[in-house]
Every structure is written in C-alpha cells, then in structure tokens.
Chains A and B, each alone.
Chain A
Amino acid sequence: MAKKADEGFTPTGKVYKSTTLPKPTTKNHKDLGIKDEQLPEIYRNMYLQRRFEERAAQMYQKGKFGGFLHLYIGQEAVSASTVHVLNDDDDIISAYRVHGLALARGTSPNACMAELFGKVTGCSKGKGGSMHFFDVEKHFWGGHAIVGAHIPLGAGLAMANKYQGNGRIAICFFGDGAVDQGSLNETFNMAQLWKLPVIFVVENNGYSMGTAVERHSAGQLHKRGEAYGMKNGVANGMDFFSMVDTLSDIAKEVRETNEPYFLEVKTYRYRGHSMSDPGNYRTKEELEEFRSFDPIERLKTYMFENKLVSEEEIKSIEDEINKEVLDAIDFAEESEFPPASDLYEHVYVQEDFPFHT
C-alpha cells in the first residue's frame, strides 16, 4: 500500500555544504596555455567584477537606484574563464545575475553602472536595469529575469550560428534553480536532436533563493541531459584554472562536433540572493568555508607564490580598478535620465507604430 505523506513532500533540514567542489586542476598556467603576462590581466578582470559590485551595493544602500540587485560576488572565476576561453564573437547569454559576465566580456564599467542608475548612457539605455544588461555588439545577449526562459534562446543563438556556418558557438548560463524548468528539458532534447553548437552551463551556487539544491532538484544536475545523450561534466567554479581547463576542452569539442554540452559548475554566491535576503537558510560555517576558496584571492596567491607579480603591481592594478569604478559612479550620477520620449522607443522596430491610448 502506498504510504500516507506524513513526512511531507519536499526534502527538509538545513543542508550544510549545499555544494561540494570537485578537486581543482593540477595544471599550472603554462600547461593551460596562459602566458605570464596574461595573469595580471585576468586578475584585473575578476577584481573589476568584484569592486564594481561592492560599490554597486553601496550605491543601492544609499538609495541611488531602485529595483532588484543580485550580486555575482564569489562566482567571478566562471565569467572570467568564459571570456578567456571563448572567442570574442562567440555568443553569451545569461540570467539576471549578470553584471560580472558583462564586465568580463568588456562592457564598460561606465555603461554598466549607468544602467544600474537607469541612465540613458547605460548598456541598455536605462530600459533594463540590473537584470537586463545587454551588449549585442560584443555578442552579449543579456540579462534575463524569468527563470529558465532564456535557455531556449541560448539554443536559438546556436541554431542561427549553425545555419549560417559562421563557426561561432553559443554559451548559455543559468542558475541551479532554472534546471527545474520545463524549458530546459524541451531545449535539451531539441539541442541534442538538432546537434546545436551550444554549451549549457548551470552555475550551481548551492541555492535557488533560499532553497538548497538538494531540496529543489532530484538527482545530479549535470546528468539532466543524459537521457537525451547529452555529454556532460562538472567543473570547480571557484578556481580559474580549473574552469579554463574544463571549458577549453568543451569549447573545442562543441565547435568541432556541432553538438551541445551540459556543464555543471560548482560555485558559491557570498551575498544574499538579492539585497533584501538575509540568508538565514545557510550556516556561517558554510559561508566561511567557501570564502576560503575565494577565486580572486586564490589567483593572487598563485601569482605571488610563483613570483609572477609583485605586491606593487597588484596594488597598482587594484588602485586603477578602484578609480575606474569610482569614475563609473560619477559617470552614472552625471548622466542624464532617458528623455520622456524614450518611453515609446524600442517597443517596435517600426518607427511610426500607432500606439493605443
């Protein structure tokens, strides 16, 4: 006889170690084809993401702009490795926790900060805000806020690339929460059936809002595509070199075979889900443990230990970035809001659409 649901349906209990990191790669930067002089630039990229968001949070708390603010802090090695591995014209699309990826891809801090402030100089002209950074010239396709809704779009970017035979691949990022959406399953089936050159990446940061992965998703995330025959793997998202190691093999393979790949990146967000989330669902110990794997500190330590940069060089990078971010705040504050007429701009391509009143 089937049992009565006395214990309820959803698994419960505070989950310590919501995500477990795979062992980092043993390869060094040279093994991965990274030149000595590239390392400070990679550090600069990650540090920019971090400082930008720390300052953005301060500005938000000061009431300089409204809306939601979801910080990527802790996950910067994922974005930095992606732009390092992929070609500049490969297509990137992601969810709403998106500042880091845009900055990593090269969208200027000015345009990013101005978008947060809702200014016309923002990367989406002030129309999108924090969740909707776009920079299509840089093949950066946003910034999407309905969980799971952009997963098919990622496959669509890849379909167009394959159709046009342009050699580009697409990479589509989403959170562990998005894995539970029907859109993922439909897209995975078609991407495999149609052999679309797309890398799906779930950034498993342990939580979907306040719900630990084990409480919202059955089975292992990266195996979600196995029934469709989709190749898959797991990577350590707290370590830049591990990410490069895994992602370069995958990118090569996807480009050559025109087949999709599903990568589960184990990572962690240090801040709350959004600015209003106190994060009571996780333990201090867990947070502290993951802080000890900080991807930015880790790269810095690596460079120091291998005598690849001096303290002064790092200091001057950090000073430059700090200034760049402060300048971006000035730029955002001084920029104009969009003109009132922009309310009716960008709804249609058609210029004289007869809006209804």
Chain B
Amino acid sequence: MSVKQFRDAIREAMVEEMRRDESIIIMGEEVAEYDGAYKVTQGMLEEFGLRRVIDTPISELGFSGIGAGAAMNGLRPIIEFMTFNFAVVGIDQILNNAAKIRYMSGGQVKFPMVFRGPNASAGQLGATHSVAYESLYAHIPGLKVMYPSEPYDAKGMLKTAIRDDDPVIFLESEQMYAMKQEVPDEEYLIPFGVGKIKREGDDVTIVAHGKMYHIAQQAAKELAKDGIEAEVIDPRCMKPFDFKMVIESIKKTNRCVIVDESHPFAGMAAEIGFVIQRDAFDYLDAPVQRVTIPDVPAPFAKNLFDLWLPGPKQVIDAVKAVTYKN
C-alpha cells in the first residue's frame, strides 16, 4: 500500500497495461512532450517512446476516428481528451463509429479502446468548458461508461476498461486529480457495473458519483451530527449501472437522494430515479429527490457559479426533505 494521487493511479493503470500489452497506445493533445495538460501522462513518453505515446493536433474528430480505425485493425488505443468538453468536436466518431459499427457489421468488428479525460466543471471556466457528459454517453448503446471518484477505484477500473474489448468512456475530473488515497501495490481489477457502499447508514440512501460523491460524503458527515445516518453509494460505473445495490440499500433506508452534476432534464438522476420507483416502489417512504446543477449553462461570475454547482447544503436539504426533518 502507498498513498497516491488520482492522477498517479490513472497513470499507473495505463503504464502497467502498456507494459503487458504492446498493442496499447495512447494519443491526445499534449500527452507526450508536455507530459499531459494535467500531468496524468507524465513520464510515459520516456518509458514507451514516440511510437506509443502520441501527441496529436487539436483535431478531436480526427484522432477519435483514427483511434477507432486503429482499434478495428488490431490496436488498443487510449484516447485522452484534454477534457470531455472537447470530445464533442469528434463525438460522431464515438457515438456512431465506435459504438455502432460492431452491431452493423453483425459482430465482425470490435473497438477495444478507451476514451478518457476530465469531465464536468472545474471552477469558473465558462459555459462550454463545464459540461457533465456521462448521461449523454450512457444513453448510447454500444458504449460502457465509467466515472470513478477515488484513486483506488480509478486504477482498478481503468485497468478493466483497457482490457475490455468494447469502447469505454472513462470520466475523470481536473479537481480530483490531486486527491490522495491508499492504493495497493499488487494488481487488482474492478469490474464494470459494480458500485460500492462507501458509508453505511440506515436513514437514507445517497447515490452520488464522480466529484459529487465527495459532496455527498461531506453532507453525510454533517447529517450525522443531526442524528441522520446516510448510506452513501458510489455507483462508480454509469453503464452498466449497479441498480441492484441501490435497490437493496433502499429496502433498508426507504429513502433516497441522488446527487448528479448533470442538468436535471434526462440526466443520470432521472434514470436512476425511474428504476427506483419501478423496482422499489413499495419500499419508499418518501418520493426520491435529486440534487443536480440547474437547467442552465455554467455562468462565469463566482457568485453565480457557486449557486450553480451543488454543494453539501443542497444535499442536506434534500435529505431533510425525504426524511421529513425540516
């Protein structure tokens, strides 16, 4: 065991897999000579050389598609987006080519590749640079979507993603890269579709992923002071999603709050909420509540941004609403 930053955990996963398998390459903007815009790929050029660690022009459509083509033909590319806000420039390659060609070819083709990079907001970066894309990718059949919130999970999940033969969207966060946690030295893998109960409690289930997981934990600590014990579930993987873990928890707590950095309309929280009412209707003592960013783009001004991004307070309020404590 040693304490590692999120960025180190991700790098280690890639490095270990690249040592194992020559067909893995990584490409993206500034990944090689600049050591990564957020230093995730630091030192990788030195170890693996120019053939496998590849700087690209600002051509997201081009390198997403070239990566997909290479994946069709024997390579296992990792595509790093400087952030997922820029992936939209190349999103046709992801949503149509990587996600659907296997289906259309009757299973002749596969896309063993990972699209990874930071997702959602990272401070006052303006409306185009602050979008949470997990629900959009999870919507499309053919893609798997992972979104870890801690270094331990990130490493085990990324190794699984890299070894998988299907295209995986792997979401990170600039604001989580420096977070630290104990990470085992020996190898471990975390499978798709398995969430984790990261805090046990009987009074309410809080489901929160990515950066919002940390907000949920802060809220849970505060709530404990008021005698409310929250069970915090980090689903870790958006698609497939561990609905079973959520439903089992609700059978115990009978109440649920979902925390999601997406907009409310048709976001992850909407889907999770639907499944809960369908599969756990009889166990609910209150309507499921969600905490999301509002139905508006990210504002720049600090005061508006702070209103826009959910914090522990909104989670606490939602928990108080479902526990009828306000």
Contact = CB atoms under 8 A, between A and B. Distances in A.
- Looking at chain B's contact residues, is the secondary structure mostly helix, strand, loop, or mixed? loop
A357 interface: yes
A10 B299 contact: no
Interface in A126-140: 126-129, 131-132
Nearest to A145: B128
A189 interface: no
A197 B68 CA distance: 38
Interface string A235-259: 0000000000000000000000000
Interface stretch (B47-55, B198-206, B207-215): B47-55
Interface in A110-152: 118-120, 124, 126-129, 131-132, 145-149
A343 B294 contact: yes
B300 A180 contact: no
Contacts of A343: 294, 296, 299, 304, 307-308
Contacts of A344: 294, 296
Given A8-B50, A9-B50, A181-B89, A127 B299 contact: yes
Given A5-B51, A10-B56, A146 B29 contact: no
A67 B30 contact: no
A227 B119 CA distance: 37
A210 B38 CA distance: 13
Interface stretch (B57-65, B154-162, B188-196, B226-234): B57-65
Nearest to B86: A146
A112 to B, nearest CB: 14
B47 to A, nearest CB: 14
B124 A118 contact: yes
Given A8-B50, A210-B30, A146 B57 contact: no
Interface string A44-87: 00000000000000000000011110000000000000000000
B126 A126 contact: no
B248 to A, nearest CB: 29
A217 interface: yes
A211 interface: yes
A12 B33 contact: yes
Contacts of A216: 55-58
A126 B299 contact: yes
B37 A209 contact: yes
Nearest to B90: A182
Contacts of A145: 126, 128-129
A interface residue count range (under 10 / 10 to 19 / 20 to 34 / 35 or more): 35 or more
B301 A338 contact: yes
A132 B37 CA distance: 22
Given A145-B129, A340-B304, A355-B296, A209 B124 contact: no
Given A5-B51, A129-B126, A209 B296 contact: no
Contacts of A7: 50-51
A347 B297 contact: yes
Interface string A315-357: 0000000000000000000000110101110010000000111
Given A67-B126, A209-B29, A216-B58, A118 B296 contact: no
A281 interface: yes
Contacts of A129: 124-126, 300-301
Contacts of A126: 299-301, 304
A338 B303 contact: yes
Contact of A67 (B29, B62, B124): B124
Q: Which of B124, B129, B300 has the most CB of A within 10 A?
A: B300
A208 interface: yes
A243 B308 CA distance: 44
A337 B308 contact: no
B34 interface: yes
Contacts of B263: 356
Contacts of A146: 85-86, 88-89, 128
Contacts of A208: 57-58
Given A181-B61, A342-B301, 4 more contacts: A10-B55, A66-B123, A120-B301, A210-B33
21 contacts: A8-B50, A8-B54, A9-B51, A10-B50, A12-B50, A65-B302, A67-B126, A127-B299, A127-B301, A127-B304, A129-B124, A129-B300, A145-B129, A148-B58, A180-B62, A181-B89, A209-B34, A210-B33, A211-B30, A281-B33, A340-B303
Closest A-B pairs by Cβ, 8 of them? A8-B50, A129-B300, A118-B301, A180-B57, A126-B301, A210-B34, A67-B124, A337-B303
